[in-house]
Amino acid sequence: MPTHHQVLIIGGGTAGIMVASQLIKQKKRTSVAIIEPADTHYYQAAWTLVGAGTYDYKDTARPMASVIPKEATWIKDKATGFDPENNTVRTASSGDITYDYLVVAPGLVYDMSLVPGLGEALDKGVVCSNYTDPDHTWKVIQEFKGGTALFTQPTTPIKCGGAPQKIMYLAEDHWAKNKAVRDKTEVVFATAGTIIFGVPQIAKTLMEVVDRKDINLRFGYQLKKVDGPNRIAWYAFADHMKEHNHKGVKTETDGDLTGIHFDMLHTAPPSTAPKFIQDSSLVNGTGWLDVDQYTMQHKKYDNIFGLGDVAGLPTAKTGAAIRKQVPIVVDNIDLLIGSDKMGKMAYNGYSSCPLVTGYGKMVLAEFDYDNKFTPDPKLKQMLISDSSKEHWRLWMLKKYILPYLYWNKMMRGKDV
Ligand SMILES: Cc1cc2nc3c(=O)[nH]c(=O)nc-3n(C[C@H](O)[C@H](O)[C@H](O)COP(=O)(O)OP(=O)(O)OC[C@H]3O[C@@H](n4cnc5c(N)ncnc54)[C@H](O)[C@@H]3O)c2cc1C
């Protein structure tokens, strides 16, 4: 007989732990189990600061056992597949597990094969990424002696879409302290996008930052492959290719591709849903979990919910988004268990991106599905009247307050 749990959660990351904690602490639901193979839980949002040498990597990690609520059952294993018609999840070594309600939250994975050469370049240390090894990024930034510093991102959805440019602003700030290095450096940001940020108020500030820092922006640049040994990033151009603040860095062409020669390269890796999700009947046409964008309920299976990075939602994949998704999922599951009906709460696509623009400076992009700027009224209590402008108090929020809230409130099922 397979083991059975009223609520089964796949993934003990930001989303999985928050759902479990709120179900237990706020709704007093006790038959909750989490399938999670890892020993360590990471507060990934601080990796940007680690990559800039202003936060200790070990402070971003805590034992998984310390964040899994003690009332929950921890199934230390990997989910490997689904039989949703029979309310069953398959696991690598714990057999089949059945559920009344399933929450799918295994995050995303990096698929280096989508940008040939990138995986090898990262392994050999030629390229750095805050997503995979932020301590290495800091080493690269410190050892950089000048040349072309290229910051880029893949064409797939990624975690925290602003992170590839945050580290650029911090790196430039670090180099600017040493005139000899900065004078010999061109900072280039190449992205497949059309603008620096989707929220107009934030984009305006960021363009001022870009001009102040004399950064070359290249839009419509689709990263196709990386030649680590020769230090060239190869791009195809989208129709909307355009440049801001051109710099004559060394480039070359090969057929339809244009290569930018770099002396250092930082990128986010191409990202997809985990393979066991992609191979299941739970995904939409683009391979992400097919959930309703307002209720987080699966579009085909009423007793399955999904949230976090794995969810196919038209908003940015962040922990901040998860903070607003969790109460919807928890409310809906609690009401379905208690009275077989769905709640009325709707997720409006809220996400947020703390855009650090230098040491001691930050802009806080908060927005919804329509890219409407939706600043938290609580910021006024911190004496921040306009979070679309750079502010040191926002930096303090990022470096000290948010990590505290994450570990002590969000992970423990308390409202923030
Ligand atoms: C460099 C960087 C900067 C970021 N900056 C910010 C920021 O400033 N603000 C912000 O809000 N967000 C930020 N984020 C994004 C944020 O960290 C993620 O959106 C968030 O952690 C996603 O939570 P999740 O639970 O969906 O996935 P994760 O937290 O990644 O957790 C997924 C969990 O599922 C487990 N799992 C995977 N496969 C299986 C399986 N088969 N079976 C069972 N379990 C499985 C994993 O072990 C993991 O524990 C950043 C991320 C990075 C990498």
Contacts of 266 (CB under 8 A, 6+ apart): 127, 128, 129, 130, 137, 140, 150, 151, 152, 164, 167, 168, 171
Among 47, 159, 170, 367, residue to substitute to test ligand 1 (most atoms within 8 Å of Cβ): 159
Determine which one of 232, 353, 364, 365 is catalytic: 353
Q: Is 342 exposed, middle or buried (0-12, 13-18, 19+ CB in 10 A)?
A: middle
Tens of pLDDT, residue by residue over 328-353, are 999 999 999 999 999 999 999 999 99
Among 64, 160, 407, residue to substitute to test ligand 1 (most atoms within 8 Å of Cβ): 160
Residues with CB under 6 Å of ligand 1 are 10-16, 35-38, 44-45, 47-48, 78-79, 105-107, 130-131, 159-160, 163, 274, 276, 308-310, 317-320, 322, 354
Q: What CA–CA distance (Å, rounded) separates 246 from 218?
A: 8
User: Closest ligand 1 atom to the C-alpha of 41?
Assistant: 49
> In the structure encoding, which two tokens stand for residue 217, read together?
């922006």
CA of residue 30 to ligand 1 center, whole Å: 25
Q: What CA–CA distance (Å, rounded) separates 173 from 34?
A: 42
User: Closest ligand 1 atom to the C-alpha of 51?
Assistant: 1
pLDDT of residue 287: 98
pLDDT of residue 31: 94
As a whole number, the mean pLDDT across the chain is 97
User: Closest ligand 1 atom to the C-alpha of 320?
Assistant: 11
Tens of pLDDT, residue by residue over 195-231, are 999 999 999 999 999 999 999 999 999 999 999 999 9
Beta carbons of 290 and 273 less than 8 angstroms apart: no
* 353 has catalytic annotation: yes
CA of residue 160 to ligand 1 center, whole Å: 10
CB atoms within 10 A of CB 365: 27
Question: Looking at the predicted structure, is the pLDDT value of residue 238 above 90?
Answer: no
Largest CA-CA distance found in the chain, in angstroms, rounded: 69
Among residues 204, 176, 172, the alpha carbon closest in space to that of 188 is found at: 172
Q: What CA–CA distance (Å, rounded) separates 113 from 413?
A: 38
CA of residue 206 to ligand 1 center, whole Å: 26
Determine which one of 160, 202, 304, 364 is catalytic: 160
pLDDT of residue 415: 86
Beta carbons of 242 and 212 less than 8 angstroms apart: no
CA of residue 41 to ligand 1 center, whole Å: 9
Question: Looking at the predicted structure, is the pLDDT value of residue 239 above 90?
Answer: no
CA of residue 225 to ligand 1 center, whole Å: 25
CA of residue 14 to ligand 1 center, whole Å: 6
User: Closest ligand 1 atom to the C-alpha of 309?
Assistant: 26
- List domains and CATH numbers for the chain: 3-108+273-346 (3.50.50.60), 112-267 (3.50.50.60)
Tens of pLDDT, residue by residue over 65-103, are 999 999 999 999 999 999 999 999 999 999 999 999 999
Tens of pLDDT, residue by residue over 101-113, are 999 999 999 999 9
Tens of pLDDT, residue by residue over 109-131, are 999 999 999 999 999 999 999 99
* 160 has catalytic annotation: yes
